[in-house]
Copies of this chain bind each other. A is one copy, B any other.
């Protein structure tokens, strides 16, 4: 059974995932089936990753959009399985890059077996996912999936390249998070609609929905890194600045802070000095920068809702809307933090 979605954190009651419990169980079974297709010597490693990683948001999106735009089919489930495998591969590689030792309370692949093995495991998951995508009779699907994967990698490369780079603009930031997070969300929603055989308009609307939900989610995650509490969210926070990642709140802050404050901030970022919350909170414009970021994400969710309104009313559409509501709630909780 899939792990509880992060979107359900904090006692929220999103029924989004309940509606498709059975389909998600099928994806879970399918993932286990994929694991068994690896060489017996490789299988245990892959199995560990499949069992520990994943909130299954991408499969949930594939299934819900499938239902909202037609009838949920095996191809929708397969799409969800493939995207989840790709997502897992990126997590395995992200943990190497971040030097992360635990993910969801268990040791990461790099921590358990070393960086080298983790590089190879991510590669194996990735190639398996793309191999699976060629099982679709329609080349558009495998092509779009490979393209979305490439976007994710490119987004991460750009992000790595622009660390500690004070010339990074908000436009650059949105471009990067659209690639690194939006692309796979959008692949889930757009390709699911495509599988259902909808009109180009609905397909575009679903792509837009996924891209905006993914982007808003990333902004939430970036704000969380600054203002969340570790007890509340159970993950290591305050790591972005340390790594030179300039996220939306920092970009607003650099834009809005007075000259003196900005100079101090820039200097500390470039010199890679520790920038703790006390320093940031001491800057008058800090709350405003967080607020503007949360507002930006809120506006994106509103736009996503408008795209969603283009598909017919159904329990699936309601469940997708609930995902928006839930993320809104999470954004609200940070506003108060």
Contact = CB atoms under 8 A, between A and B. Distances in A.
A157 interface: yes
A42 B158 contact: yes
Interface stretch (A17-25, A72-80, A129-137, A224-232): A129-137
A253 to B, nearest CB: 24
A276 B143 CA distance: 50
A38 interface: yes
Interface stretch (A148-156, A211-219, A265-273, A328-336): A148-156
A157 B126 contact: no
Interface in A43-93: 45, 89-90, 93
Contacts of A115: 96-97, 115
A123 B93 contact: yes
Contact of A154 (B42, B147, B154): B42
Contacts of A259: none
B135 A150 contact: no
B96 A154 contact: no
Contact of A135 (B143, B154, B156): B143
Contact of A130 (B42, B89, B127): B127
Contacts of A179: 39
B131 A147 contact: yes
Given A115-B115, A119-B93, A153-B127, A146 B160 contact: no
Given A117-B161, A120-B157, 4 more contacts: A41-B154, A41-B157, A93-B123, A97-B116
Interface of A: 38-39, 41-42, 45, 89-90, 93, 96-97, 115-117, 119-124, 126-128, 130-131, 133-135, 137, 139, 142-143, 146-147, 149-150, 152-154, 156-158, 160-162, 179
